[in-house]
């Protein structure tokens, strides 16, 4: 397979099928169905505008499907006087929804990399987190996707991503373990090869806290 075909088939296999996207009216009707399923009356005054609001809120919750991570990371600042040490943005808050229950999970992401060809704007790393958080997710997938996008765009010596989150599907329903925290990490390059680099990352993530 040629490189072009290979890259196209990878892109197609990870792309979301947007065919058959329902109209706004269909989406609002689906909300009315769920309101009835919950046991309420969608025609009562307090709920009349709810389908409209829910559909609008969905646009925000799931705006990540319209984001292209490679575009977010496409501007690289090369003039950094040869800076090639760790860049870490920690405690990036995010809100996502689990793909199993469509219930929120939320917490913080810490992302780090060792630059080679320059650095990206710090806000772009937070935008990258949001681009993946604002989709239906598992925490593991989101962690891996953030790391993969950074590797592809920055060709860094290494990437470290750590996410700490509480899953409402474990707090407010099901097993009902409020406060349980899930930690996921993805290391590439020097972070994967050298345990001392993982320790450095974790020390910086934890550093300066009371």
Ligand X SMILES: Nc1nc2c(ncn2[C@@H]2O[C@H](COP(=O)(O)OP(=O)(O)OP(=O)(O)O)[C@@H](O)[C@H]2O)c(=O)[nH]1
Whether 101 is a known active-site residue: answer yes
Q: How far apart are CA 66 and CA 150, in angstroms?
A: 18
- Is position 175 an interface residue for ligand X (rule: CB under 6 A)? yes
Q: Which of 28, 110, 139, 145 is catalytic?
A: 139
- Is position 98 an interface residue for ligand X (rule: CB under 6 A)? yes
Whether 110 is a known active-site residue: answer no
Instruction: Give the strand pairing for 87-98 and 136-137.
Output: parallel
Q: How far apart are CA 188 and CA 158, in angstroms?
A: 5
Contact region for ligand X (CB under 6 A) — 7-15, 70-78, 128-136, 168-176?
168-176
Span between the terminal Cα atoms of the chain, in Å: 54
Whether 97 is a known active-site residue: answer no
The sign of the CA dihedral 145, 55, 100, 184 is positive
Nearest to ligand X of 144, 204 (CB atom): 144
Here the tokens at position 82 are: 């040869």
| Contacting residues for 109 by C-beta, under 8 A, at least 6 apart | 92, 94, 129, 133, 146, 161, 162, 163
92 in a known ligand binding site? no
Nearest to ligand X of 98, 128 (CB atom): 98
- Is position 185 an interface residue for ligand X (rule: CB under 6 A)? no
- Is position 66 an interface residue for ligand X (rule: CB under 6 A)? no
210 three-class SS: coil
Among 169, 171, 185, 202, binds ligand X (CB under 6 A): 169
Among 6, 36, 44, 100, binds ligand X (CB under 6 A): 100
Q: How far apart are CA 169 and CA 11, in angstroms?
A: 31
Q: Give the CB-nearest residue to Zn ion.
A: 169
Residues from 13 through 52 that contact ligand X (CB under 6 A):
none
| Contacting residues for 65 by C-beta, under 8 A, at least 6 apart | 16, 18, 134, 135
In the list Zn ion, ligand X, none, the entry touching 49 (Cβ below 5 to 8 angstroms by class) is none
98 in a known ligand binding site? yes
Residues annotated as catalytic (active site), given as ranges: 98-101, 139, 167, 169
Instruction: Please report, as ranges, the residues that interact with ligand X according to CB under 6 A.
Output: 98, 100, 138-140, 167, 169-170, 174-175
């Amino acid at each position: 397979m040629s490189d072009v075909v290979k890259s196209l088939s990878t892109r197609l296999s990870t792309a979301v099928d947007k065919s058959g996207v329902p109209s706004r009216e269909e989406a609002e009707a689906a909300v009315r169905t769920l309101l009835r399923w919950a046991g309420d009356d969608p025609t009562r005054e307090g709920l009349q505008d709810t389908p409209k609001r829910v559909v609008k809120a969905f646009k925000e919750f799931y705006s990540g499907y319209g984001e292209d991570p490679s575009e977010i990371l496409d501007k690289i600042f090369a003039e950094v006087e040869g800076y090639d040490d760790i860049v870490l943005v920690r405690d990036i808050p995010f809100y996502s929804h689990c793909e199993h229950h469509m219930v929120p999970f939320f917490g913080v992401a810490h992302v780090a990399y060792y630059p080679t060809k320059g650095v990206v704007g710090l806000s772009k790393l937070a935008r990258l987190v949001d681009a993946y958080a604002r989709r239906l997710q598992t925490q593991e997938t989101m962690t891996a996707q953030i790391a993969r996008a950074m590797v592809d765009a920055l060709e860094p010596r290494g990437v470290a991503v750590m996410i700490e989150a509480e899953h409402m599907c474990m707090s407010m329903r099901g097993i009902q373990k409020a406060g349980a925290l899930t930690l996921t990490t993805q290391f590439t390059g020097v972070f994967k090869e050298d345990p001392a680099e993982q320790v450095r990352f974790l020390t910086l993530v934890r550093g300066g806290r009371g």
